[in-house]
Structure 1
């Protein structure tokens, strides 16, 4: 009886929500990377703009559902740590969350292309945030996961963060593989001039950080979005 009770206690953290989130993340990963891999074929069939619209219409609802599901189940399972009463932790979490959005925001800032108003293109540039890191969205996601896992401390959040980070690490390889296959030497040159690890290409002399490249109206939008998220968090809590 004692062994049975102990086993039940150890597995009590594995709630149904853990398994559902695992399934949702796998579905999102398959559709997101799968449709990215089919981009060239799809654009040839239905055109660049329509494929971008199709890509967004498939992935955006899944992403929104993931965010909502995470919000309602973020404290499920075991609470592994609880640091929310410490002011210093609160400040660190807010700072990390704010920094994550500067990486998560699209590096090109071609909002008309994102909305498919202008024809979407692949930009193999090496300026702005790409001087800091070739895969800024991966870095932003990792920072976001660290901040929220530190704040919440539940087994559900730990699992979600680990899966998200693992997927984004896969997406690095997948994205580089696709771009090198499509653009060959042009992408290899861009790859050699940038780094996955933030600031590494700057520290070893392959890049120079030019702050004037960050003086763009889009960053005002990012800052405004951060303030909006901060206000929404206060209202939700």
Structure 2
């Protein structure tokens, strides 16, 4: 699993590092397509492998039969997706329908944390490691968190190289730790920024995931990985 995570990290973070050079030589849309078709298959393999081996290794703890644990895990998972897929992402750019661009966002969930994907991944890992309690899940979570912590440094460096002083000012007004900039008075939450269709889309996605979760586990179990 660590090998798969390391391979995905090289392709995903390496592709992100090559973005300025690639966009200059092959264009924004072609870069986005190559990046997506390189990263997505590896992500799908990781998900299937995780589903199929989630109970491998040692059973470090077992809390699934304790009252309240299942709804707690689902609430944490739902919160994690609000961070993993923030409304600042432009789906049309991701699909290369619109010209993909690098944005300097400072609204919505970015007011809470400058790196929402890292926060969402940590919450997701805590929820699933608590629920499954296996050494395999613990190792997987450690690998995912380390990759996203690297992504914090990598993302800040790339945006600093691209935007210079403008991004330095954004860093002054935001924080990596959730709510830290708000508690320190450097930032404030504007709740109306969260009233966007994309957040409704995330909520619907979570409900569909909850409904289809058994079907996904059954489907992936039929794939030998």
**What's the TM-score once normalised by structure 2's chain length?**
0.94
* Partner residue of 1:190 out of 166, 170, 173: 170
Taking a change above 3 Å as real, the CA distance of residues 226 and 212 of structure 1, as seen in their structure-2 partners, is same
Which structure would you say has the larger Rg?
1
Q: Is the 8 A contact 1:129 1:136 kept in 2?
A: yes
In structure 2, what is the equivalent of residue 48 of structure 1? 28
Q: Distance in 1 between matches of 2:67 and 2:120?
A: 23
* Partner residue of 2:58 out of 71, 78, 97: 78
Once the two structures are TM-superposed, the CA of residue 26 in structure 1 deviates from its matched residue by 0.5
Once the two structures are TM-superposed, the CA of residue 107 in structure 1 deviates from its matched residue by 4.1
Q: Distance in 1 between matches of 2:188 and 2:159?
A: 24
Once the two structures are TM-superposed, the CA of residue 80 in structure 1 deviates from its matched residue by 0.2
Q: Distance in 1 between matches of 2:160 and 2:193?
A: 26
Equivalent pairs counted in the alignment come to 217
Q: Secondary structure at the match of 2:136?
A: helix
Q: Distance in 2 between matches of 1:190 and 1:173?
A: 15
- Taking the TM superposition and a 5 Å limit, the aligned residue runs for 1:1-237 are 21-235=1-215, 236=217
Q: Provide the aligned C-alpha RMSD in A.
A: 1.0
In structure 2, what is the equivalent of residue 3 of structure 1? none
In structure 2, what is the equivalent of residue 12 of structure 1? none
Q: Distance in 2 between matches of 1:108 and 1:29?
A: 23
Q: Secondary structure at the match of 1:87?
A: coil
Once the two structures are TM-superposed, the CA of residue 106 in structure 1 deviates from its matched residue by 4.0
Relative contact order (C-alpha < 8 Å, sep 6+): which is higher?
Answer: 2
Q: Distance in 2 between matches of 1:113 and 1:106?
A: 14
Unpaired stretches in structure 1, ≥5 consecutive residues: 1-20
Q: Distance in 1 between matches of 2:195 and 2:144?
A: 30
Taking a change above 3 Å as real, the CA distance of residues 107 and 191 of structure 1, as seen in their structure-2 partners, is farther
Q: Is the 8 A contact 1:107 1:130 kept in 2?
A: no
> How far does the alpha carbon of each residue in 1:111-151 deviate from its partner, in whole angstroms, 9 at most, with x for none?
11111111111111211000000000000000000000000
Q: Distance in 2 between matches of 1:119 and 1:203?
A: 36
Unpaired stretches in structure 2, ≥5 consecutive residues: 219-225
Once the two structures are TM-superposed, the CA of residue 185 in structure 1 deviates from its matched residue by 0.3
Once the two structures are TM-superposed, the CA of residue 161 in structure 1 deviates from its matched residue by 0.1
In structure 1, what is the equivalent of residue 221 of structure 2? none
**What's the TM-score once normalised by structure 1's chain length?**
0.89
Q: Distance in 1 between matches of 2:86 and 2:94?
A: 9
